[in-house]
Amino acid sequence: MFLILFGAPGSGKGTQSDLLMQTGKFVHISTGDLLRAEVKQESKIGLLVRDIMARGEFPSDDLIMDLINKQIDTNSDKQIICDGFPRTMNQVLAFDTLLGVKKENIGLVANLKVNLNMLVERISGRYSCKECGAVYHDKNKRPLIEGICDRCGSKEFLRRPDDQPDVLESRVQAYLDQTQAVCEYYRQKGLVKDLDASKDPVSVNNELKSCLIQAGFKI
């Protein structure tokens, strides 16, 4: 069964995924993470998508579906968190077909709602460990020991090129133009729960877990 985590860049999809992963009951698929891994490896896909991502635009739906297909094949029969996917109506329709073939279903679409000012503040302060990808924030979440990653001890950090303020605007626009239609599609099917994601991450997670239990997930 699939949980789709939905929300603008900076709404906390990654943080909520991390908290759910601590239950040991989920597999996490983030198309953004998969694409960033390709860019890091400088693979054929990575070279193709690097500049597109840096501008805050979307790579082709076919490329995204190839990545998703591979992930679903290796994780069948699990509770899967989709973080950042599907993001366009073409992806939704291709995903519906895939779910039909695999006899799988979407149990819940959690819509993480945050106002624009908070999104900008969250994203503009965000940075991560170069080695393990653990995410930090200039104000809200610094490492316990300054300059050293809590998770892996690395001293090297980086900021995502698409987290720069000028690119953020295109990312939020892409979200508004393409991704909100996706949410409305699932809303019509009765799958969407709206969550106030401006609250602290643990409160949001508790609310999310209640919704998941109601939807039949095992936590």
Residues that bind ligand AMP (CB under 6 A): 9, 31-32, 35, 53, 56-59, 64, 84-85, 87, 91, 162, 171
Structure tokens belonging to residue 71: 């992930």
Nearest to 85 by CA among 212, 184, 182: 182
- Look up residue 156 and give its DSSP letter: -
Nearer to ligand AMP, 53 or 191 (CB): 53
Give phi and psi for 145, each to the nearest 5. Answer: -110, 120
Nearer to ligand AMP, 35 or 72 (CB): 35
Q: How far apart are alpha carbons 123 and 185 in whole angstroms?
A: 27
Nearer to ligand AMP, 16 or 31 (CB): 31
Owner of token pair 């001293």: 155
Owner of token pair 């995924």: 17
Q: Which residues of 139-151 are buried (b: 16+ CB within 10 A; e: fewer)?
A: eeeeeeeeeebee
CA separation, residue 85 to residues 32, 153, 166, 186 (Å) = 9, 31, 23, 13
To the nearest whole angstrom, how small is the minimum distance from the Cβ of residue 31 to ligand AMP? 3
24 conformational bin, left if phi > 0, alpha if psi -120 to 50, beta if neither: left
Nearer to ligand AMP, 69 or 219 (CB): 69
Q: Which residue of the chain is nearest ligand AMP when measured via CB?
A: 32
To the nearest whole angstrom, how small is the minimum distance from the Cβ of residue 43 to ligand AMP? 15
To the nearest whole angstrom, how small is the minimum distance from the Cβ of residue 209 to ligand AMP? 22
Nearer to ligand AMP, 28 or 171 (CB): 171
To the nearest whole angstrom, how small is the minimum distance from the Cβ of residue 205 to ligand AMP? 19
Number of alpha helices (DSSP H) and beta strands (DSSP E) in the chain? 9, 8
To the nearest whole angstrom, how small is the minimum distance from the Cβ of residue 61 to ligand AMP? 7
Nearer to ligand AMP, 64 or 149 (CB): 64
To the nearest whole angstrom, how small is the minimum distance from the Cβ of residue 140 to ligand AMP? 18
